[in-house]
Structure formats: structure tokens, C-alpha cells
Amino acid sequence: MYVCWEITTRCNLSCEFCYNFKNLPDERFDRMLSIADALALNNVDVVNLTGGEPFLHPRLADIIDYCYKHFTLMISTNGMFLSKKILSRIVPKTELVGVSLDAVTEREARIMRGRAYDLSIVLANISLFLAYKMKLKINTIITKYNKKCLYDIANFIESLGDPNIIWKLYELTINNNVTVAGRRFGIPREEFVILVDELRSRYPSLRIISSDSDTMNSFYIIVTPNGDVHVPVKNNFKSLGNLLERPLADILREVDFDFDGNRNLMNYI
């Protein structure tokens, strides 16, 4: 199984279309280790450490030290916080890092991610990940504000010269966490499909994968910092129990969870 574990909901950005949970307190470290144990006991294979911004968690490297023997680990980050010190600790134990990149021009990047976003820092950190031989996934949410920038991003990824980079294109996810303002970023499904197809045919050398909002709203399991398990129910995430109180298998039995779809999320690793 593939699980997204939001180790913190704190974030330096406030993207309007953010669907992640917000304003939940960080969990005590010993309880985080208990959550990791519970995931391991429940046949979870891949854990994506997300947030909020996971690099804001002061014990990220300690969490990875504890977890890497049990799971294949991924990190999803907005790319603004990184240091050589933490990189040298996490690279040998982390399979993949996903960095959000929705534009390679400052103006469009800030429309997508807000004024606090600094594209130059993110681009420098992408180079740093590659310099440390970290397998990289670039995550791009396609919206009405960046759809004209997609070729620029493709050219940028090509220019990095690493054929192992995965470029994942997301349709904007609309669920109960997305603000009304965030919903205006979306484009129709048909347009999303056409844009992805065009990019695939124009850039055959890039490893392009895509995820529409149905995927997010059907196959993902999200664990919030305190161990609550949120699963999709009718296109919205609902908390059905806590990992420290009930086995994940019991929690998932309450819904008609699509295990095959969830397993497919791991195909690119």
C-alpha cells in the first residue's frame, strides 16, 4: 500500500488551491514513531512524507532514519527549504523526492504559489538534489494560470540532462479542503488530457506521468500528524479512525477502498 503521511501541516506558503490539511499541531516524536510502527504492521510499502512542508519538520531526518528500513520513502516538497547537512543524511535512505514546479518564470510561479514563493531558491535546490544524486520527480499542477508555461518547464527539465527525472502532471484536485478561491485555478478535464497528450508527443524523451483529480480522490490514503487516517469517500476525504487506535485494515474495511488503484500509485518508483 501507498500512504501519504503529513508529518506537519505547517507550510511557508499558502497556495490558494492547497488541498492539504492545515493548522493541526505537530505530533510528539515518540508518537510519530508509533505511527510509523503502525504503518509497518499494516503492510504499507511506500510512505510519502508530505505536509505542509516536510522540510519544516525539525526531525525529518530522524523520522527517515527510523522509517527507511520498513518502507520505500518519498518526500514531497515545495523545494524552498534544503541544506547540504540534511541532504547528506536523507539521500541514502530516500528513494525519491517530488518537488513542486508550476512555472519557470517568476511571475507565473508567484501567481500559482503566492508572494512568498522564490523560484530562484527552488531551481537552485533542484540542482542540489541532482548534485547529491537524488532521484527526482517534478510535480506540476496544470491550471489556467500556468498552462501556457508547460513547454518552458519541459525545456527546463530536458536541460537538466537526467533521463531518470519523472515529470508528473496533476489536474487540480478539488475536494473538501480546497478553498473557493482555489477552485478558480482549475481547467476542464478534456483540456487537461489534451495538454498532457501534446506534451507526451512533443517530448518523447521525458518520463511524463499524469494524475487526474479522480486519482487523488479515489486511491490516496492520507495520515495526518496525529495518526488520523483520511480516505476518499465520494470524492472527499473523510477521517475514519486513528492508526494508534485501530489497524489500518479495519479502517479501510469501512469503505469500498480501491486497493488496486492505490497500488498503481507506486508504479513509477
Q: CB of 16: closest distance to ligand SF4 in angstroms?
A: 9
Q: Is 15 near ligand SF4 (CB under 6 A)? A: yes
Please identify, using beta-carbon distances, which residue of 122 and 208 lies nearer to ligand SF4.
122
- Please give the size of the binding site for ligand SF4, defined by CB under 6 A: 10
Q: How far apart are alpha carbons 216 and 157 in whole angstroms?
A: 24
Minimum distance from CB of 260 to ligand SF4 (Å)?
27
Which DSSP letter does residue 206 get?
Answer: S
Closest approach, Cβ 33 to ligand SF4, in A, equals: 23
Contact region for ligand SF4 (CB under 6 A) — 48-56, 157-165, 239-247, 248-256?
A: 48-56
Which pairs with CB-CB distance under 8 Å and at least 24 residues apart come from 103-112?
103/146, 103/149, 103/152, 103/153, 104/149, 104/152, 104/153, 104/156, 105/149, 105/152, 108/145, 108/146, 108/149, 111/145, 111/146, 112/15, 112/141, 112/143, 112/145, 112/146, 112/185
Closest to ligand SF4 by CB, 52 vs 227, is 52
Q: Which of 3, 27, 32, 51 binds ligand SF4 (CB under 6 A)?
A: 51
Q: Which residues are near ligand SF4 by CB under 6 A?
A: 11, 13-15, 18, 20, 51-53, 78
